[in-house]
Structure 1
């Protein structure tokens, strides 16, 4: 039973004081609650009230301030009840109204909470101020004050909350659109890679297989000389190597996330490339300098392609020239350099597609590197590439031409700024109307409480009360209540009426008051006196 009670208590506390309560939040909320309590208690206990009202008022304000996050409706109702009789709680009313406007999301609940707060605040004001202020004036002041101190902060709080929610939703939608665009672009690239891989497998694979079969048959032909047989063997090995590379490239195209650098052609395969060139009768040297680093499959494959393209161009354009291949492991990048000397001029036209160097430049650019190709000082040719170790391909960006166009943004149908502006305009117009109405009522009360001096002088001691009452204005307790105890003591057993004179002194801090006292149905005293405001 005790465990159930403890569990329920923890649930109530978690609901009233929602977390998380980190050190910064505890410090911020504690200092703010202390400040609100001190201000509310200090302003509410002005005068001879003593320390007990100060502590009660301040503690109540601090508690309601802390409850504004978990129980915004309850905090607003409590602040409204206190604000109806304590002027020191009006700042707390504004704070709780702001919090309620932010946290009460359902319109029906918000209307019910604010309407109930207004009714309770007005009822408390009527019970405490009815003797000093007429009912219409009290209602007008209550409506105007509640609109300014409660509704207006709530509207601003609701606007801020809706704007934040809208911005978060737009950010999440934008992130989702970017992810979807990246996914669509990746799928489009994968489909194109699969298509290219299939075409390469079906066309080049077939041709290379035929070359391998025919060269294998020539190897066992007894009519060939030993030199011819060695040349055929080199051709067959080249065809087999080309088929192995083709399988690696096809596999890499089919799955861009995986790929064996040995199968797709990596740094480890450069030794085989140079060996094949030596077997063909070309002088090729391979040197490695620096600390060997592990490369990504894309970087290793790019290095392999640079060496392969350079060796192919050297064999075509400078047959018989010596070739130097260098792999230099620099601190931040791999330098691949191939230099061939000037070869023997040939009259045979070399077969060239003209796209090798273009493809290499694009490959190195996507890896974040660069490629240099040009004549060497000794008349030969130099091809060099710089490949960063962390090169992993170009990321998908918003300006990627492969990406589909983003859909046109639709403006949200709900516009919180417009709705809040309408409510604020309505509140301000209502307050302006109440101020005008209050001004009219004030002058009406002033007229009701003013007795002309000529009429006051016309009254005679001993004149019947009914006759005098018929000539008196209705009077106003609001305008004369503070002046009743300022003049001379009224005769015992009399009923008096107080009015303001229509001829007031020049001093702004003084008011001329007219008093008529009746006993047994006749006028027994009439007196003028000045009351200091």
Structure 2
């Protein structure tokens, strides 16, 4: 089925060609039935050229020799046939047959007065009206096919390059994960072992044992977080099991209290919104006044947003402990209609941290939070408050940027880097505005490559178009020059000036008159007998065109000389309808 736009365009084209055919038929003096028939045939053949290009080409080109109203359709059919006839061989046969049949019909119509100049002119005319439009249409469709092929080829190269880059990233992430596992995991396990040993030391006071317990729990929590990070870096590959970071395994202790201290993996603390209460409890246990507020109806979050909420609360508490020691802290969880707002605010510090000494800070925590929330479609704001405190707030959407809440991939199942059945543009990572990567255009090509191809296509298209236009113009100029020479030669054979007509007198000998007049063997003298006065009985007449203009645009002046018995017995001047 054709789309509405094509149906409207084809209907408009059919109407225009039918009107041109009807107008041409009216100008040539055709009857009403003939004009209507040609207009209807043109309107029917115009849309059929899309499904029967060769047939419509032959009918329109050959028919235009008999009915001039089909000439505009012949031009359109030649262009369309050049685009739609499959195979160079079939196109050559179709255009060659149309050319030969049309040229043959033109020559047959000129008989019995055949002339070589007329045949040359007809051949050049058909070359410009049939072959040249067909070649232009053929070039256009081949160029478009070539460009589409090049775009597909470049898109395939980009897909392969993206896959190779993805595999390289996976290998590098696995290497980093292995390094973190081998270095940090071992050190954290040693910290956990030693703090576990200190915790059971009988010489410690209750306060010291409590502080050592906090250190041991912190080291265990750090090991759990390290395992999560390693699992994320490995992108779905098998993450190390609990025994990988077991303090007992790292220290070589087979059992006892020390081993038990490192095997608390069964009670893994939550790293989502539910784990914020544990953070608050830990801070209160350290002697800090922390208040946790909730508002709104709790709603589920995607795993990434849930983890980001935990990290925002953790970062806010950490910064408050470091920079505003002793200040009260408020954590607020507000469930808005479309997002969760996590806010951590603290008042001004009662005294400078560490007695005025500067606190070491890498300045990377807030930057990492901003990147984490940006990737899930949220945002983070941090800044001082009016009372001299500090406020950290994050807005986390309830749905992921993809429109769902995907869970983490199971351990041991590799996540495919690209979907082999998906569209290439869907395989491009989303940018910060939810659109495709800004260096990629909608066609799936890099910006530089797309611009280069656009410039090259435009330049090459202009150059080739100018070349084709120049070739067509050259052919038309050649045809015009040849036609001019042919017309001048034919005019010398079939036209005279009015003064020569006046110089000839009735009664002069036939030989003398013919010597002063052209022989009339020209295609310009064809059809001059139609509408002419009756020929004298037994006379032989010579009809010639006049160089003067007729009384109207559709009338042509004619001079006729009639001979009988070797003398000029009559000369007449009249007009015939062209």
Structure 2 CA distance for partners of 1:500 and 1:280, relative to 1, 3 Å: closer
Cα gap change, 1:68 to 1:257, in 2 (>3 Å): farther
Q: Is structure 2 residue 52 aligned with structure 1 residue 71?
A: yes
Calculate the TM-score normalised by the size of structure 2: 0.72
Q: CA deviation at 1:73?
A: 1.8
Structure-to-structure mapping, 1:70-109, within 5 angstroms: 70-104=51-85, 106-109=87-90
The residue matched to 2:344 in structure 1 has which SS? Answer: strand
What pairs with 1:135-150 in structure 2 (closer than 5 Å)?
135-150=115-130
Deviation track 1:281-334 (CA, whole Å, cap 9, x = no partner) reads: 333222222232332333332222222222223333444443222222233443
Q: Does 1:427 align with 2:472?
A: yes
2:372 to 363, 387, 402: 363
- Structure 2 equivalent of residue 118 of structure 1: 99
Give yes or no for the alignment of 1:249 onto 2:226. no
Whether 1:220 aligns to 2:220 is no
- Evaluate the alpha carbon distance shift between residue 307 and residue 62 of structure 1 in structure 2; reply closer, same or farther with a 3 A threshold: same
Q: Deviations over 1:75-96 (max 9, x none)?
A: 2112111112111111210121
Separation in structure 1 between the aligned mates of residue 119 and residue 182 of structure 2, nearest angstrom: 91
Aligned to 1:438: 483
Instruction: Provide the C-alpha distance between the structure 2 equivalents of 1:229 and 1:67, rounded to a whole number of angstroms.
Output: 95
- Deviation track 1:229-255 (CA, whole Å, cap 9, x = no partner) reads 333222222222221122112212222
Please state if 1:513 is matched with 2:559. Answer: yes
> Quick check: 1:386 aligned with 2:413?
no
Matches of 1:375 and 1:471, distance apart in 2: 115
User: Contact conserved, 2:185 with 2:226, CA < 8 A, in 1?
Assistant: yes
Give the 3 Å change call, closer, same or farther, for CA 57–257 of structure 1 in structure 2: farther
DSSP-derived class of the 1:295 partner: coil
CA 1:492–1:193 in structure 2 vs 1: closer, same or farther (change >3 Å)?
same
Shift of 1:151: 3.3
In 2, the alpha carbon distance for the partners of 1:487 and 1:37 equals 33
> Does residue 1:198 correspond to 2:238, yes or no?
no
Give the C-alpha shift of residue 377 in structure 1: 4.8
* Deviation, structure 1 residue 526: 2.5
> In the alignment, which of 422, 427, 437 is matched to residue 397 of structure 1?
437
Evaluate the alpha carbon distance shift between residue 415 and residue 110 of structure 1 in structure 2; reply closer, same or farther with a 3 A threshold: farther
Distance 1:512 1:423 in 2: 43
- The answer as to whether partners of 2:128 and 2:475 remain within 8 angstroms in 1 is no
Pair 293,31 (structure 1): closer, same or farther in 2 beyond 3 Å? same
Q: 1:230 matched to which residue of 2?
A: 210
Which range moved further: 207-216 or 486-495? 486-495
Paired position in structure 2 for 1:15: none
- Which residue of the other structure, out of 464, 472, 493, is the alignment partner of 2:538? 493
Q: Which residue of 2 aligns with 1:12?
A: none
Q: Does 1:239 align with 2:219?
A: yes
Q: After superposing the two structures, state which structure 1 stretch, 235-244 or 403-412, moved more.
A: 403-412
CA contact (8 A) 2:191 2:219 kept: yes
Shift of 1:415: 4.8
**2:340 is equivalent to residue 334 of structure 1:** yes
How far apart, CA to CA, are the structure 1 residues paired with 2:557 and 2:359?
119
1:474 matches 2:519: yes
Q: d(CA) in 2 for partners of 1:108 and 1:404?
A: 38
Distance 2:532 2:385 in 1: 118
Q: Which moved more, 1:226-235 or 1:386-395?
A: 386-395
Give yes or no for contact 2:507–2:568 (8 Å, CA) kept in 1: no
Q: How many residue pairs get matched?
A: 501
2:290 matches 1:284: yes
Once the two structures are overlaid, the 10-residue window that deviates more, 198-207 or 113-122, is 198-207
Sort the Cα spacing of 1:384 and 1:150 in 2 relative to 1 into closer, same or farther, 3 A.
Answer: same
Are positions 1:311 and 2:317 aligned together? yes
1:326/1:35 CA distance change after superposition, 3 Å: same
Cα distance between partner residues in 1 of 2:275 and 2:106 = 93
**Preserved contact between residue 136 and residue 468 of structure 2 (Cα < 8 Å):** no
Unpaired runs of at least 5, structure 1? 1-19
CA distance in 1, matches of 2:283, 2:368: 22
CA RMSD of aligned residues (A): 4.2
| Alpha carbons 2:439, 2:447 under 8 Å: kept | no
Q: Is the 8 A contact 1:282 1:320 kept in 2?
A: yes
Gaps of 5+ in 2: 240-267, 402-428
| Matched position secondary structure for 2:566 | strand
Question: Using a 3 Å threshold, how does the CA distance of structure 1 residues 257 and 530 change in structure 2: closer, same or farther?
Answer: farther
For 2:478 and 2:225, locate their aligned partners in 1 and report how far apart those are by CA, in whole Å.
87
CA contact (8 A) 2:125 2:479 kept: no
